[in-house]
């Protein structure tokens, strides 16, 4: 699995001009899955993301987690995280998971994030979505369970 995390002051996802999910301060997660991704990898990412200390404490140090600050999550599926650009100018997406498996992984990931007590808004798997965000910091962190 791959997750690109951005700390945001606000974010939203729209489909056909209608806002489908939106959050205030927290994380925007762009989520990609492969065919070999498992529940164990989901558990690892949920634990890392829910405990990641990238919010500032009273001393201005990145020392607080999303739970500590009452933040929210906007999770958006994004198969293009598995783009391969080694050859030519048109990316290949053969590394992205089969849509049926990837959708199940994405749903399980969001359910497990919500089970930690976090508020989780989502996009719609496979939809043409427009994502708006205000990156806070900026803070952007890459997770890859294969690395």
Q: Which of 18, 38, 80, 140 is catalytic?
A: 80
- Side-chain half-sphere exposure of 85, counting CA atoms within 13 A: 4
The per-residue pLDDT for 14 is 97
- Whichever domain contains 65, its CATH number is 3.50.80.10
Q: In total, how many domains does the chain have?
A: 1
CA 43 to chain centre: 14
Q: Are 122 and 76 in contact (CB under 8 A)?
A: yes
Place of tokens 């729209």: 14
pLDDT in tens, the chain (147 residues): 999 999 999 999 999 999 999 999 999 999 999 999 999 999 999 999 999 999 999 999 999 999 999 999 999 999 989 888 899 898 888 888 899 999 999 999 999 999 999 999 999 998 999 999 999 999 999 999 998
Q: How far apart are CA 102 and CA 32, in angstroms?
A: 8
Domain span holding position 67: 2-144
pTM for the model stands at 0.94
The per-residue pLDDT for 82 is 86
Annotation says 80 is catalytic:
yes
């Amino acid at each position: 699995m791959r997750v690109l995390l951005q700390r945001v002051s606000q974010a939203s996802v729209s489909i056909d001009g209608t806002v489908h999910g939106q959050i205030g301060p927290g994380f925007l997660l762009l989520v990609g899955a492969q065919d070999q991704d498992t529940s164990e990898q989901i558990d690892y990412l949920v634990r890392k993301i829910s405990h990641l200390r990238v919010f500032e404490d009273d001393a201005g140090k990145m020392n607080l987690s999303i739970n500590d600050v009452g933040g929210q999550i906007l999770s958006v599926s994004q198969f293009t995280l598995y783009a391969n650009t080694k050859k030519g100018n048109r990316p290949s997406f053969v590394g992205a998971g089969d849509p049926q498996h990837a959708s199940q992984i994405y749903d399980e990931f969001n359910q497990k994030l919500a089970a930690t007590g976090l508020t989780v808004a989502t996009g719609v798997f496979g939809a043409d979505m427009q994502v708006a965000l205000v990156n806070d910091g900026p803070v952007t962190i890459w997770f890859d369970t294969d690395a």
